[in-house]
Amino acid sequence: MPCNVLLIQNEDNSIATGVFLNNTLTIPHVVKNSLDKVNEFPSTKNFSHLIFNKVVDKSELKQFVNIPILIVAENKIDNTEYKLVNSPLNFEKIFSFISNTSNFSLNTLKEYALGEEEILIELKNQILEEFTASYNQLPKLIDNKNLTEIKSTVHQISSKFSLLEMEKAYQLAKNIDNNILNNEEVELNNCKKLVIDIAIVLDQLKN
């Protein structure tokens, strides 16, 4: 599933939705206020990540399975089950949470490198170079609705997502490549989501 964050918070402790964007990225999100009862929470099947900017009891969290959870706390809390950050919430904290809970892995790339560290470094640098170029180019191409160039750019990097075990991003890229000329509105929106996956790759490769 492409990135789509559900933020649950109290109205008296709300944050500006500007924390979900920076100069290049806008993280898709939905904000729900004042959800104090378990049965008020919406289904999370359409969301990739869940953030609580409110006091929450552990018993409330048991219903949320197979979804990464971030809890914003005023003070440090001893907890090994969920990701925790101190208040205030900002873009860097949200993106770090998304990046570090992605399916990114170098295991397949290491197999291609046959255990040779120099080959692995070369492969990583090649992907880093290609994805940096795509990250810089795609937002402008999307704004200009340059469908042919978008298709070409996405096609060039799509298989790399599979090498990095980001299968959902790979499928998203394949769909864009196959359909953007015939389904412009949907695939341009998907392109914006793919830019987030590209940013995740760059973040993980630089770590």
Are 30 and 52 in contact, with CB atoms under 8 Å apart? no
Average pLDDT, whole number, for the chain? 89
Helix intervals (H) in the chain = 58-61, 91-100, 107-112, 117-143, 147-163, 167-179, 184-206
Which H or E run contains 31? strand 29-33
The domains found in the chain, sorted by start residue, are: 5-100 (3.40.50.2300), 107-206 (1.20.120)
Task: Summarize pLDDT for 188-205 with one digit per residue, the tens.
Answer: 999 999 999 999 999 999
Q: How far apart are the first and last CA of the chain?
A: 24
pLDDT, residue 107, reads 96
Task: Summarize pLDDT for 73-108 with one digit per residue, the tens.
Answer: 765 555 557 888 888 889 999 999 999 999 999 999
Confidence of residue 39 (pLDDT cuts 50, 70, 90): low
Task: Summarize pLDDT for 136-192 with one digit per residue, the tens.
Answer: 999 999 999 999 999 999 999 999 999 999 999 999 999 999 999 999 999 999 999
Neighbours of 13 (CB within 10 A): 13
Is 80 exceeded by the pLDDT of residue 132? Answer: yes
- This prediction's pTM: 0.90
Token pair, residue 5, equals 């964050």
Average pLDDT over residues 47-75: 82
